[in-house]
């Protein structure tokens, strides 16, 4: 468990280095899940951030001996966005959309990002 905790801390630190704008927020959301809140960011901007996060985590080259995907730690990312005032979605709905996109990324082989409602993401 100590190694896993250290890995999660390193991932959180790395994500915090990528997500630095005022108002942006990164938080641990579950066991090994994190949520990033990026106000004033559309899907394209969130994809850019996701790609930066994935590249930064990959650059750590942190060994992951039991991964079926890679010899190193990787991330799967689910993206969801709304335009306030145009879309009346509750925060729980947005989180659910991101969660569905995350599980789609995991089911498509992990080490990738997916956008809620978009089946053609890498």
Catalytic residues: 32
The string of DSSP letters for 53-118 reads: HHHHHHHH--B-TT-SS-SB----EEE----TTT----HHHHHHHHHHHHHHHHHTTSSSEEETT-
In this structure, the strands spanning 25-28 and 34-37 are: antiparallel
């Amino acid at each position: 468990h100590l190694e896993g905790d250290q890995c999660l801390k390193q991932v959180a630190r790395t994500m915090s280095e990528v997500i630095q704008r005022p108002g942006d927020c990164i938080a641990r959301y579950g066991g090994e899940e994190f949520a990033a809140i990026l106000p004033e960011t559309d899907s394209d901007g969130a994809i850019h951030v996701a790609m930066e996060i994935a590249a930064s985590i990959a650059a750590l080259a942190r060994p992951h001996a039991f991964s079926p995907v890679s010899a190193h730690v990787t991330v799967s990312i689910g993206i969801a966005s709304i335009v306030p005032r145009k879309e009346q979605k509750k925060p729980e709905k947005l989180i659910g959309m991101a969660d569905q996109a995350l599980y789609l990324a995991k089911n498509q082989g992990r080490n990738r990002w997916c956008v809620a409602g978009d089946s053609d993401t890498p």
